[in-house]
Amino acid sequence: MKKSALLAAVCVPAFLAAAPLSAKTLVYCSEGSPENFYPGVNTTGTSFDASTQIYSRIVEFERGGTKVLPGLAEKWDISPDGLVYTFHLRKGVKWHSNKNFKPTRDMNADDIVFMFERQWKQDHPYYKVTSPNHSYFDDMGMPKLLKSVEKVDDYTVKVTLNQPEAPFLADLAMEFAAVQSKEYADAMLKAGTPEKIDQEPIGTGPFYLVQYQKDAIIRYKAFPDYYGGKAKIDDLVFSITPDASVRWAKLQKGECHVMPYPNPADLQAMEKDPNVTILSQAGLNIGYLAYNTQKKPFDDVKVRKALNMAINKKAIVEAVYLGSGIPAKNPIPPSMWSYNDSIKDDPYDPEAAKKLLAEAGFPNGFETDLWAMPVQRPYNPNAKRIAELMQADLAKIGVKAEIKSFEWGEYRKRMQAGEHQMGMLGWTGDNGDPDNFLHTLLGCASAQGNGSNVAKFCYKPFDDLVTKAKVTTDVAARTKLYEQAQVIFKEQAPWFTIAHAVQLKPIRKEVVDFKLSPFGRHTFYGVDIKGK
């Protein structure tokens, strides 16, 4: 650091002639290159991190939380039947500019309509640009949900839904709903280079893109006209560093200030480093083992309960998550509203498990398969190791489990098709709404076909609750419904809930007010840096 600081002192004046000498630069050691700068077609956190600095959304999540706050829309009205949302837009919101495009107008209703239509109307000129796969838009059910999106005047947009949808606002705070400039899009279409809007992005967010070199660097500058006020740092640099140990080396040396996804093996050294602080927060996620409830013998709740009692959860979490996970009892994480803390987890009790198994007609156990993901996921650091531990526990009650694995894409596809008997998977929340877990992962609708309900769990009393909660807009009433749903979940045991992974973020001491996002995002608006 000493040397590069000296170097910097010598060179900064030379190349930042126009910028103030006290420019504050924050370097983030990101883990990979973004796919592009259009979150509407992206699915990875890496890509979202890169684009989220640039764009604004109609509404925003509060920094470090899941609460929905005004964004480009200053305020909104919801009709009493929950079907019509009228957004009143902020005036005077400026767009970024670059060498190909100088905006002539502020953000207005046309841009909001463009955001919806680009992902919604298959005949829209931008629908297929970059990719026709609008993953999150589709997955949040937008094509079915939206009835119409109309511009009332320049600063009012009316969105009509086909049915009430409680998580709708939270959905609009997600990355896929990033608002792009219609004027820029039109200009690029005319120039015959529509894909430019996703490669050289223009947004209304706190930072604008200055330079992107694939696999090397993403360079941003604070946007002085940002509607929320200029960011505290002047320059934001993503130094792309794929290897976790190398990221740690860079953090130690001060070559970067914030690093994501530390290697668990390095954590001890990080705790000892006086220049580094480790922030931690239970992530919005769950890792679980799903029983295929439509296949024998897992169609019998006694079998599922027995297995839940046979596996030593505490041992697994301690051995595999290494202090970066907390044992899970509910299908939603404790940081989420409506989490039912009065629920008791199934005890670890092999004897009782054996008894229950005998009652179900399997006194000598049975043979089954146990699927383990081939890759490390945020909610599950080492599925194969967990599978081995589970296999050993199950053997004690006579259940012989054969561990299986496939290439990751294949694995998920086959699980979703229901080819497994037991299999591990997990989920990271998108919008902070319990619906996103309980209905998406355990409702009847997603148990069909290739839905994400891999337990193929379709149980009417449970489904009734989560479907009702989905169309109720009153939060207190929804909370009650979800709490009840968690009781039924525990009784029916479609999953063995493993753990909620804790998010650990080593940052350097000079970083001020960096907040962990429950969604696992990295945003730098509001962050400051000391001593520069």
> What is the binding site for another protein (CB under 8 A)?
1-4, 7-8, 10-12, 14-15, 25, 27, 32-33, 35-36, 43-44, 128-133, 135-136, 138-139, 195, 198-199, 210-211, 213-217, 219, 237, 239-243, 245-246, 249-250, 252-253, 255, 406-410, 412-413, 416, 427-428, 449-452
Residue with tokens 């054969």: 402
Which two structure tokens, joined as six digits, stand for 95?
């767009």
CB of 94 to another protein, least distance (A): 24
Q: What are the residue ranges of helices labelled H in 400-442?
A: 408-416, 435-442
Contact (Cβ atoms closer than 8 angstroms) between residue 348 and residue 317: no
Whichever of 10 and 476 has its CB closer to another protein, that residue is 10
Whichever of 45 and 494 has its CB closer to another protein, that residue is 45
Which two structure tokens, joined as six digits, stand for 449?
């076909």
Whichever of 237 and 390 has its CB closer to another protein, that residue is 237
CA 333, CA 340: separation in Å to the nearest integer?
10
Whichever of 35 and 393 has its CB closer to another protein, that residue is 35
Whichever of 157 and 373 has its CB closer to another protein, that residue is 373
Whichever of 35 and 463 has its CB closer to another protein, that residue is 35
What are the Cα distances from residue 455, in Å, to 248, 295, 299, 323?
38, 10, 10, 28
CB of 269 to another protein, least distance (A): 10
Any idea what DSSP says for residue 505?
E
CA 77, CA 80: separation in Å to the nearest integer?
9
CB of 495 to another protein, least distance (A): 17
CB of 237 to another protein, least distance (A): 5
CA 203, CA 179: separation in Å to the nearest integer?
7
CB of 55 to another protein, least distance (A): 18
CB of 133 to another protein, least distance (A): 6
Contact (Cβ atoms closer than 8 angstroms) between residue 422 and residue 393: no
Which two structure tokens, joined as six digits, stand for 492?
């029916």
Residue (of 125, 98, 302) closest to 203 by Cα position: 98
* Residue positions counted in the chain: 532
Whichever of 215 and 341 has its CB closer to another protein, that residue is 215
Contact (Cβ atoms closer than 8 angstroms) between residue 118 and residue 100: no
Residue type (1 letter), 76: W
Give the CA angle between residues 413, 320, 325 to the nearest 5°: 90
CA 394, CA 309: separation in Å to the nearest integer?
10
Whichever of 12 and 189 has its CB closer to another protein, that residue is 12
Whichever of 71 and 426 has its CB closer to another protein, that residue is 426
CB of 452 to another protein, least distance (A): 6
Q: What are the residue ranges of helices labelled H in 339-434?
A: 350-359, 383-395, 408-416
Contact (Cβ atoms closer than 8 angstroms) between residue 478 and residue 472: yes
Contact (Cβ atoms closer than 8 angstroms) between residue 32 and residue 39: no
CA 425, CA 200: separation in Å to the nearest integer?
36
Contact (Cβ atoms closer than 8 angstroms) between residue 59 and residue 169: yes
Whichever of 27 and 107 has its CB closer to another protein, that residue is 27
Whichever of 246 and 301 has its CB closer to another protein, that residue is 246
CB of 285 to another protein, least distance (A): 11
Whichever of 266 and 346 has its CB closer to another protein, that residue is 266
Residue (of 501, 506, 512, 481) closest to 335 by Cα position: 501
CB of 384 to another protein, least distance (A): 17
CB of 7 to another protein, least distance (A): 5
Contact (Cβ atoms closer than 8 angstroms) between residue 204 and residue 215: no
Q: In what order do the strands lie in the sheet with 73-78?
A: 73-78, 84-89, 156-161, 146-153
CB of 471 to another protein, least distance (A): 22
Contact (Cβ atoms closer than 8 angstroms) between residue 165 and residue 473: no
Whichever of 89 and 441 has its CB closer to another protein, that residue is 441
Residues 6+ positions from 212 with CB-CB distance below 8 Å:
37, 218, 219
CB of 16 to another protein, least distance (A): 9
CB of 200 to another protein, least distance (A): 12
How many C-beta atoms lie closer than 10 Å to residue 190's C-beta? 9
